[in-house]
Amino acid sequence: MLILLLLWALLYILLSVLGEGIVLALQRHWPGTVSPTETVLMGLMGVISVLQIVSIFFPTNCWFVAGLALLAIFINWQLANRPIRAATTNFYKLVRQPVVWLLIVVILVYAIGRPVNPDSGTYHLPTIRYVERYAAIPGLGNLFSRLAFNSSFFVIGAAFGFTDLAGQTLFPLNGFLLLLFGDYSIRQLQRLNLSPVLRNLQLSIVCLALFFLIRQVNAPGTDVWATLLTLFVFLVWLNENRRSNHFRAFLLVALVFTCLTVKLATLPILLLLPFVAYEHRHWIRWNHGVWVTILACLLIGPWLVRNVILSGYLIFPFTELDLVSVDWKVAKNAVRFEHDFVTFWARFHLPETKFDPEKLTWPFARWVSWWWTHWWFWYNWPNRPTFIMAVLSPVLMASQWVYGRERLRGLLAAYVVALAGFLFWFLKAPEFRFGYAFIWIAALLPILNLIQQPLPTRIATGLVGLTLIGLLVFAAVNRENHKPDSLVALLLIPAKLSHLNSGEQNAYYDLRRTRSGLAVVVPRAPCEACFDIELPCTPFFSDDLQLRGKTIAEGFRLTHPTIDSLAHNSIQLPAK
């Protein structure tokens, strides 16, 4: 717990100072006021941009954070301590509010537990460890295709994982961003000039985000960041003074590009860019287009390069974007499997061993019926209200357009993008955590537009506090391990995610060798995860795997691409 607090403080100070430097450098071309939260977001996106470039050539670990700290000290010195003073002033304002202290405590309580998402040990943590230890590894997806799922979150997660210093990989990023989002929401609720629609929307969104995302703050997964960054895009866009604030246009574009590099499920947020350009068409000049192009090159360019290095494809897992000829290219059947399995799992919630491509050809009505009765109805009951509201929202929005279109003008663009994102999510991968941001915005905007009476600030803040108290009580009642010695240990450092304490009594590993003599660690059933094993490790063993050179850093390739990667699933192989 103490270490997480220190890491959050470090992130806040570094990103505030770096963000202040970026803001001052950009305001000559993009004038406008910037809130403390937006300053931190600018610092975050600047760090992501630099980190992605660095990670192509070098390992990304705590030494990079030391370099960032030196850069922040230099910027603060050049600006006569202005960034530190601003960050300190903002912090004092923050801690005066009891609800913020409650927010910190609740996120801390959930952040110290051991991640329960199976993907955390299967490929999230292994990906972060490879980024920490090596520059981008050519053909890493040949070792295990999910290691080719490239996300800027994993890159910055490796830098702030502090594995060598802490003796385990730490995961402070999800908790930090949820804390930042909660603080931003509380500040917005206290604004006197916020419209009733936005006040009620902000209240609803922060309560939903806390309720549904809090259980993931201890994990190294990308869902929390993808959801919160997309919500930041919508909320900044819906801000009434965005038209007179040129800098917010730049911030929106940067946030949209960053969302894409975090998770491909946010792809529909790109639809907001034409609306941003149209709304600001009166003052945009050619030099602003140059700035946006540079921004795309800095944020998306390195992400695309890493995609090619890890998998051989411009965007993984899409075989249609096969534009580069390299010897480490992941076999197309493995890429198609990963692409299809995302949809298969989201619709049917069945493991890899029960993958059935025929189910993906089912007519729309048939798979929706299955999803509704088997997967959605029983497992995702808390999501029913917002899902039904999102489905019915076009009717409600159309009726309001007929009878009062003036009230909808400021909301229509955001709703159209959210509805497109909702449809994209439902058709491609209807697992709720993949599309929370689009579902919530599409569901709430039409209904809240009808409510012109905002809740008073104290009541709105009180509702946030009640949500936090409920989450705290839930954590206390459902804490798996109440042993005093375990709880005391967690006061210093979060629970460790490792193959050494995987929780499975029979979670053993076999050491197997490929035809080339490469030693590969293979999980034995029922374990499917490699966790923090730093030797080549995969649940999908292939005899054709070999190193491209003499070391892991030189990458992996297949001598003969496998016909069916599922045939090598360790779960289907008898233990030696």
User: pLDDT tens, 117-169?
Assistant: 889 999 999 999 999 999 999 999 999 999 999 999 999 999 999 999 999 99
Q: What mean pLDDT do residues 551-564 have?
A: 79
Separation CA 472–CA 179 (nearest Å) = 15
Residue 405 confidence (pLDDT) above 70: no
Q: Is the model's pLDDT at 238 over the cut of 60?
A: yes
Diameter of the chain by CA atoms?
73
Q: What is the pLDDT of residue 195?
A: 85
> Could you tell me the end-to-end alpha-carbon distance of the chain, in angstroms, rounded to an integer?
41
What is the rounded CA–CA span in Å between residue 313 and residue 305? 9
- Computed on alpha carbons and rounded to an integer, the radius of gyration of the chain in Å comes to 24
Element counts in the chain: helices (H) and strands (E):
24, 4
491-542 pLDDT per residue, tens: 888 988 887 765 443 457 889 999 999 999 999 877 778 998 989 999 888 8
pLDDT at 271: 95
Q: Which pLDDT band holds residue 570 (cuts at 50, 70, 90)?
A: very low
Comparing 452 with 334, the larger pLDDT belongs to: 334
Which residue in the block uniquely carries the two structure tokens 């929401």?
185
Please, which pLDDT band fits residue 568 given cuts at 50, 70 and 90?
very low
Which position has the token pair 């003052």? 283
User: What's the rounded mean pLDDT across residues 399-409?
Assistant: 75
pLDDT over threshold 80, residue 548: yes
Q: Single out the residue of 436, 415, 2, 54 nearest to residue 225, CA to CA.
A: 436
- Which DSSP string corresponds to 112-131? TSPP--HHIIIIIHHHHHHH
φ and ψ at 509, to 5 degrees?
-130, 140
Mean pLDDT of 476-480: 74
The packing angle between helices 62-78 and 2-26, to 10°, is 50
Amino acid type, 520: V
Q: Which residues contact 159 (CB under 8 A, 6 or more apart)?
A: 51, 60, 61, 62, 64, 65
